[in-house]
Amino acid sequence: SPGRRRRRGPAAEGGSPRDGGSMSCEVSVLYFARSAELAGLRCETLSVPQQITSLQLWEEIVKVHPRLAVIRDQVVFAVRQEYVLLGDQLLVLQPGDEVAIIPPISGG
C-alpha cells in the first residue's frame, strides 16, 4: 500500500518521528488569486519541516517564491482546510497535507 513507502523517501531522513522537529515532509501548497499570480503557478509540492510555526512555513514558501513577500501582511493560510493566521502557532504537518495561500479578495 502507498502508506508503507514513507520510510524510504526523504521524509525518513534524520531519525525517528520522536526526535522533535528534525523530520521533513512534503505538503501540497495551493496558490489562489494574487498569490498564484506572484508565484507563477497554482499548486506545487514542497518539502518543509514537519513541526513548524505558521510564520516559519510562510518564510519557507517565500524562499521559493520571493515575490510573495509583498502580500505577507494580508495573507491567510488554510492548513487542512482550517484557517491559520501567520504567527507563532505551531503546525504539525503530515505528508500530503494541503496548505492554501489565500490573499485578500477584493470586492466592490
Determine the Cα–Cα distance for residues 99 and 108; give it in Å rounded to an integer: 28
- Residue pointed to by grid coordinates 501540497: 28
Tell me, what's the pLDDT at 71? 93
36, 8 in Cβ contact below 8 A? Answer: no
103, 71 in Cβ contact below 8 A? Answer: yes
Q: Which residue has the higher pLDDT, 25 or 10?
A: 25
Classify residue 10 by burial, with Cβ atoms within 10 Å: 0-12, 13-18, 19+. Answer: exposed
Domain parsing of the chain, residue ranges: 24-102
**Of 78, 93, 67, which Cα lies nearest the Cα of 32?**
78
Say what percent of the chain tops pLDDT 70: 76
Q: 48 has which bridge partners?
A: 25
Whether 13 shows a pLDDT value over 90: the answer reads: no
- pLDDT tens string 1-11: 444 333 333 43
Q: What is the amino acid identity at position 80?
A: R
CATH no. of 24-102: 3.10.20.30
